[in-house]
Amino acid sequence: LEHVLHSNDHSEVRPRTLGFALPDPAATDALGAALARALPRESGLVITLEGDLGAGKTSLVRAMLRALGHRGPVKSPTYALVELYKLSSLCFYHFDFYRFTDPEEFVDAGLADYFLADAVCCVEWPDKAHGVLPAADLCVRFAIEPGANPAMAAAGGSRRVFLQSRSTRGDECLARVCPPSSIQRIGNNDAA
Ligand SMILES: Nc1ncnc2c1ncn2[C@@H]1O[C@H](COP(=O)(O)OP(=O)(O)O)[C@@H](O)[C@H]1O
Ligand SMILES: [Mg+2]
C-alpha cells in the first residue's frame, strides 16, 4: 500500500514560513483562494490547520474549495470527521479531529486510507491524531489577535496566520502562494 500513500520527502526541507495579517474574514477568504491556486497540479498535499476554536481554520478551507469551483455548502467536519469533495481536477478531503479523545480513533476509523498521493487533505486539529497522521506537507497556524479597536475585539479580533512548509512539495506550493497585495506580509518571529 505504501506506494500509493504520500511518499513525499520530509527529511530534506528546511522549513520556510510565510506570515500574513488577516484583519477580517475577507482577508482569510483571499488567502484561501491564493492557497488553492498554489496547490500542485499533478499531486496531492497534506495541509494541517492549527489554532483555537473560531480561529478561521474551516473558513480558510471553505475559501479554498470555493476557489477550486465547489458551489455547494462547506460544513465543518467536526461530527462527520471527514467531508469529501470531488472537484473536476482533484479529490479534496476535509478532516476535523477535534472530538478525538485518542489518536487511535484515526486508525480505527480507517482514515489513513484517504491520504492518497493525489488527494488534497486538509486537517483541522492534527494534534488529536498525533503519531498516526501522515506527515504534513504544509502547516497552517492561526492566532487570534484582540484588536485595539473595541468593535474588532468584540467580533473576535483580527487574525495572524503562518504557513510553514514541511516537505519539498509543500515548499514548492508555498513558493507559489501569491495573495493580493492588500494582504500584509508579517515576519515569522512569532511563529514558534
Ligand atoms: N481574519 C479574520 N478576522 C476576523 N474574523 C475572522 C477572520 N477570519 C475568519 N473570521 C471569522 O471567525 C470565525 C472562524 O470560524 P471557523 O472558520 O469555523 O473557525 P475554526 O474552524 O478555526 O474553528 C468565522 O465566524 C469567521 O467569519
Ligand atoms: Mg473548524
Q: Is 138 helix (H, G, I), strand (E, B) or coil?
A: strand
Q: What is the 3-state secondary structure (H, E, C) of 11-42?
A: CCCCCCEEEEEECCHHHHHHHHHHHHHHCCCC
Which atom of ligand 1 is least distant from the CA of 55? 22
Q: How far is the CA of 39 from the centre of ligand 2 (A)?
A: 21
pLDDT of residue 4: 54
Q: Assess contact for 20 and 179: CB atoms under 8 A.
A: yes
Chain segment 17-43, per-residue pLDDT in tens: 999 999 999 999 999 999 999 999 989
Q: Look up residue 176 and give its three cell numbers.
A: 507559489
Centre of ligand 2 to C-alpha 62, Å, is: 10
**pLDDT tens column, 37-80:** 999 998 999 999 999 999 999 999 999 999 999 999 999 999 89
Higher confidence at residue 115 or residue 6?
Answer: 115
Atom index in ligand 1 nearest the CA of residue 22 equals 1
How far is residue 93 from each of residues 34, 81, 111, 161, measured CA to CA in Å? 18, 10, 11, 21
Residues with CB under 6 A from ligand 1: 22, 24-25, 27-28, 51, 53-59, 76, 124, 156, 158-159
Gap from CA of 57 to ligand 2 centroid (Å): 5
The Å distance, Cα 76 to ligand 2 centre, comes to: 5
Whose alpha carbon is nearest atom 25 of ligand 1? 54
pLDDT digit string (tens) for 148-181? Answer: 565 555 556 799 999 999 999 999 999 999 999 9
Per-residue model confidence (pLDDT) at position 5: 57
Residue 190's pLDDT is: 47
pLDDT, tens digit (0-9, with 9 covering 90-100), for 1-10: 444 555 566 7
What's the CA gap between 136 and 99, in Å, rounded?
Answer: 20
pLDDT for residue 102 is more than 50: yes
